[in-house]
Copies of this chain bind each other. A is one copy, B any other.
Amino acid sequence: MKNAVGREIPEHIAGCKYNPYRGPWACIPSRQANGGKSVDAPAAEKVLKSIDAAIEAVGLRDGMTISFHHHLRNGDYVMKLVVDAIARKGIRGLRLTASSLSAVQDAIMPHLEAGVITAIDTSGIRGEIGKFVSAGKLPHPVMIRTHGGRARAIESGELSIDVAFIGAPACDIQGNINGVDGPAACGSLGYAMVDAAYADKVVAITDHLMPHPLQRISIPQTQVDFIVKVDSIGDPKGISTGSLRISTDPKELLISQYAATVIEHSGCFRDNFSLQLGSGGASLTAAKFIKEKMKTKGITAAFGVGGITGIFAEMMEEGLVNLLFDAQSFDSTAIQSLRQNDRHLEVSASYYASPGTCGPIVNNVDAVILSATEVDIHFNVNVLTGSNGRLMGAPGGHPDTAAGSNLCIVALPLVRRNFPVMRESVHTIVTPGETVDVIVTDRGVAINPLRQDLIHNLQGSGLPIMLIEDLQRLAYEITGTPTPAPTGGDIVGLVEYRDGTIIDVIRKIG
């Protein structure tokens, strides 16, 4: 048989069947294993007139899975714009997967009530959506994943995304995207990178459409099917605050100082150590004390990782930290730093924390300071539900970095608003105690008995070291024994550990 350039191609060659050439643009390569895309004829137009047009172009239909990232945080306009448009088209029964849900997403509540969205897969869940799910009103149980676990689930095909809608702070007309330019700059696009790489179809929603090509590219044009320009993708005030502030609250200062002292005496506080600091008050404030201790000892850190704050970026500017790995930029100082400093590296959620890889960067973290909603005497941590059982938080990278790091410190006050947060048992286990090394409170510090090396190293540190059971009893003495949250309702949610197993369930309340 002759192919389209007149060459004789046998039907079978060496026992295999091959397709003869049919013309340079005649054959659309089949769907890629890697959620790849169909070939386009050269220079096919990607910029569409409206979100409605994009929904039609990608062939969205009932029952599909749509995804969003949360780098625009509480300033995000994209999810509401998209889900409103989907609802207007009468599409129903969608699974919504998001790297997290901020309070601003209460704006899509009408579409949950109307059945446009019937399943949710997310790290964080709060506000009205949290109440809706906790009340058992979502048809399918919500799936709560860690940042690393979500990347793993997407990369493994367990979480298959039909259409990713990517809020794009800067996007050129071929679909190259970055997060550092434009009026709604949010910094790193670490979570969105995974969605863009694996979704069947990708739509970029931007308010800063640029000529081709962007100089800085976080998500490549090869992954973007269509582009829609809108007036605004987000409110800069909700996307980033100014530089996050160090606390002046005496209790938080004390906790932070204890946490810094734990690191100092842990055995890992040496030249070229590595550090993760979250955006919580105690973690941020601890940076101040760690800086002082680093200067005193004359050491620098090889790298910092995580959600990056301006305080961390300033430590790099001062030469105290050599490199920053940034999966999420928490404030405008960090965003500016990512834009300008070539030692401030943008990384994907997979590089940050996925356990389904040859080793994410959290595996190389010496010390991390994390926060918690509740901790129990088995060192288990809850960062997802209130003590009343209601969904109001986010695992984020908590279980990932706890498992990966050498020294995982969880810092929290012993009592919050007269509730004991040191408990016999947390309501929801998000991070298993086996991966948590030290609990730091304003009233005492407890070391996980699995870590005899730390118990040894922290002798003579001057810290008020106690048994965790004693910390818990002290909390109950202050507040009285708490009423256990109700258990036994229908299951309304699953808490997935980063490896894909189920570590806890969320039950209906009220």
Taking beta carbons and an 8 Å cutoff, which residues of A are in contact with B?
3-5, 7-10, 13-14, 18-34, 36-40, 42-44, 46, 140-141, 152, 155-157, 174-175, 198, 202, 211-213, 215, 217, 220-225, 272, 302-303, 322-323, 325, 342-343, 345, 347, 350-351, 354-361, 363-364, 378, 380, 403-406, 429, 432-435, 491, 494, 497, 499-505
Contact = CB atoms under 8 A, between A and B. Distances in A.
A166 to B, nearest CB: 12
Candidate in A22, A46, A378, A497 with the most chain B CB atoms within 10 angstroms: A497
Main secondary structure of the interface of A (DSSP, over half): loop
Closest 5 CB pairs of A and B: A222-B357, A33-B157, A29-B356, A21-B503, A27-B499
A320 to B, nearest CB: 16
A502 to B, nearest CB: 5
A33 B36 contact: no
Contacts of A303: 213
B34 A503 contact: no
Nearest to A23: B434
Contact of A361 (B36, B221, B323): B221
A175 B358 contact: yes
A380 B5 contact: yes
B43 A364 contact: yes
A387 to B, nearest CB: 17
Contacts of A217: 345
A356 B323 contact: no
A358 B3 contact: no
A43 B362 CA distance: 10
Contacts of A503: 3, 5, 7, 21
A222 B350 CA distance: 8
A324 to B, nearest CB: 11
Candidate in A39, A40, A225, A354 with the most chain B CB atoms within 10 angstroms: A39
B357 A37 contact: yes
B7 A358 contact: no
A305 to B, nearest CB: 10
A213 B500 contact: no
Given A24-B434, A25-B403, 13 more contacts: A3-B501, A3-B502, A9-B504, A13-B502, A20-B502, A29-B500, A30-B156, A32-B356, A33-B155, A36-B155, A37-B356, A42-B405, A44-B359
Nearest to A19: B501
Contacts of A18: 494, 501-502
Contact of A358 (B8, B140, B212, B223): B223
Can you tell how many copies of this chain the complex includes?
2
A202 to B, nearest CB: 7
A364 B223 CA distance: 15
Contacts of A222: 350-351, 354, 357-360
Given A14-B491, A432-B21, A225 B29 contact: no
A262 B352 CA distance: 49
A505 B9 contact: yes
10 contacts: A5-B429, A13-B494, A14-B141, A21-B503, A27-B501, A33-B156, A34-B155, A37-B356, A174-B364, A222-B359
A504 B405 CA distance: 54
Contact of A36 (B28, B37, B156, B325): B156
B155 A363 contact: no
Candidate in A34, A343, A406 with the most chain B CB atoms within 10 angstroms: A34
Nearest to A157: B33
A323 B211 CA distance: 13
A240 B320 CA distance: 37
A251 to B, nearest CB: 29
A4 to B, nearest CB: 7
Given A156-B30, A213-B323, A501 B22 contact: yes
Candidate in A24, A26, A361 with the most chain B CB atoms within 10 angstroms: A24
A300 to B, nearest CB: 13
A360 B43 CA distance: 10
A322 B212 CA distance: 11
A325 B214 CA distance: 11
A81 B7 CA distance: 39
